[in-house]
A = this chain, B = another copy of it.
């Protein structure tokens, strides 16, 4: 994985998703080199770059032009612009202009998780995956309910990672904010 420190950041743009969460998202996505990925709420581009490394094509969508700018800077820094298309806009609408896809990754939903999952599901290829990362309690539950609504059976993990920091007196364990990963496969 790309190290958390290797991303250009902006205080007004969320992310990057921490290394361990990016790792778990990649595993849950079962991404492979022929996959078309649509990412909603790309923020700093943490997951965008990981998907770009492993997939055929990534469409990274965000409402916030600043997020797209930072994501682009990170793609440039890591020389990974080739298979990523950045799209400014609102997710459920943007889907109409995109080809069908294999992976829908939702990192930010601006309160529109329900139409994102409903419409995203329609554009999702068979065996495709929907993944939602959630820092809010509300998002955890909306992701579960909306996946169930379209007939998916969500896998839900809540990930609490403590990081060991070696200081003079020993190894201090520092808590990270928990992140939930809700994912499901279209059958």
Are A138 and B27 within 8 A (Cβ)? Answer: no
A158 to B141, CA, bound (A): 16
Query: What are the residues of chain B within 8 A of A144 when measuring CB–CB?
Result: 137, 164, 166, 171
Which segment, of A5-13, A69-77, A79-87, A175-183, faces chain B?
A: A175-183
Interface presence of A99 (CB below 8 A)? no
Are B135 and A173 within 8 A (Cβ)? Answer: yes
Are A136 and B170 within 8 A (Cβ)? Answer: yes
Are A160 and B137 within 8 A (Cβ)? Answer: no
Interface presence of A33 (CB below 8 A)? no
Interface presence of A150 (CB below 8 A)? no
Instruction: Give this chain's copy count.
Output: 4
Chain B min CB distance to A132 (Å): 12
Contacting residue for A162 out of B154, B164, B177, CB 8 A: B177
A138 to B154, CA, bound (A): 15
Contacting residue for A173 out of B154, B158, B171, CB 8 A: B158
Query: What are the residues of chain B within 8 A of A156 when measuring CB–CB?
Result: 163-164, 166, 171
Query: What are the residues of chain B within 8 A of A163 when measuring CB–CB?
Result: 156-158
Interface presence of A1 (CB below 8 A)? yes
Interface presence of A94 (CB below 8 A)? no
Query: What are the residues of chain B within 8 A of A139 when measuring CB–CB?
Result: 170
Which residues of A from 111 to 164 have beta carbons under 8 Å from B? Answer: 111, 135-141, 144, 154-164
Q: A158 — nearest CB in chain B belongs to which residue? A: B162
Query: What are the residues of chain B within 8 A of A169 when measuring CB–CB?
Result: 111, 136, 138
Query: What are the residues of chain B within 8 A of A136 when measuring CB–CB?
Result: 169-173
Chain B min CB distance to A93 (Å): 20
